[in-house]
Amino acid sequence: MLLHAGVADRRMWEALWTALTVDLDVLRLDLRGFGESITRPAGPLCQVDDVLDTLDELEVRHAHLVGASLGAGVAVEVALTRPDLVSSLLLSAPGGSLIADLTPHLCAFIAAERSALDQEDLDGAVEANLTWWVDGPGRRLDNVDPQVRDLVRRMQRRAFEVTADWDDLPETELDPPPFERLSEISAPTLVLVGALDLDAIQDTAHRVSDGIPDAHRVDWPDTAHLPSMERPDDFVALVRDLVAVG
């Protein structure tokens, strides 16, 4: 199961979809509030319940979970909630509920996005996400794939539009939070991080790879927050290796 990043939706996996589905049964879904998953929940937002409901509906008893950023946090929460279900974890640029600290980069991004949204500048808010999460701190724009940037622009704008009136929506959170329960994870785990990513993700990757027993970490020096979109062929190889082990 492929769980997308918070700046994306299930379309982020398009470049590797054909290669993965040649001989694997693969699921990708839009988390609620992203892509085509537009129904506001009747109660608190709980991405984990949505993922588990999907797997139960499809009668999936065991799954390898591949999560990017926000999706990595959801994957870990699923593993903590239903450890019997999870065969392995690939946590790419782990973020979401796994982030423990407001680092300088993260604070700068939040300020830029909030400033644009306060001025009802949706284009500016989208651009803030592109600058921090696609380009990465300090990377020149001409070193970023324009097709990746354009797709993320469309996915992020869609998320803003879908959730425009969701500001008052409560979210269900694990207590204690996932980053305090990493030692409970028993599934084989691979952590992938790009060297050009934000300091918050670097810190989270360090915590996660140290906290999950026997986790293996891979660093890619030339990618930022979306390694699977920047190097899809290499990402497919990582998925296949982990599935073979798990």
Residue 48 has pLDDT above 70, yes or no: yes
Amino acid in position 244: A
Helices (H) and strands (E) in the chain, counts: 9, 6
Residue 199: strand, helix, or coil: helix
Residue 116 CB contacts under 8 Å (≥ 6 apart), including other chains: 122, 123, 124, 125, 127, 128
The closest alpha carbon to 38, from 152, 125, 164, belongs to: 164
What does the pLDDT read at residue 60? Answer: 96
For the four alpha carbons of 135, 139, 141 and 142, in that order, the dihedral sign comes to negative
- Give residue 163's Cα distance to chain centre: 18
What does the pLDDT read at residue 246? Answer: 62
Question: pLDDT band at 167, cuts 50/70/90?
Answer: confident
| Residue ranges of domains in the chain, CATH in brackets | 2-101+168-245 (3.40.50.1820), 104-162 (no CATH)
Phi-psi region of 96 (alpha: psi -120 to 50; beta: other; left: phi over 0): left
Any idea which residue has 């670097």 for tokens?
A: 202
User: What pLDDT digit, counting tens, does each position of 55-80 carry?
Assistant: 999 999 999 999 999 999 999 999 99
Phi-psi region of 214 (alpha: psi -120 to 50; beta: other; left: phi over 0): left
Q: What is the mean pLDDT of residues 188-192?
A: 97
**Percentage of the residues of the chain whose pLDDT score is greater than 90:** 96
pTM of the predicted model over 0.85: yes
Any idea which residue has 């269900």 for tokens?
A: 172
Residue 195 has pLDDT above 80, yes or no: yes
The DSSP string of 133-192 is: III-TT--GGGS-HHHHHHHHHHHHHHHHHTTT-TT--B---SS-GGG-GGG--S-EEEE
The closest alpha carbon to 98, from 131, 69, 136, belongs to: 69
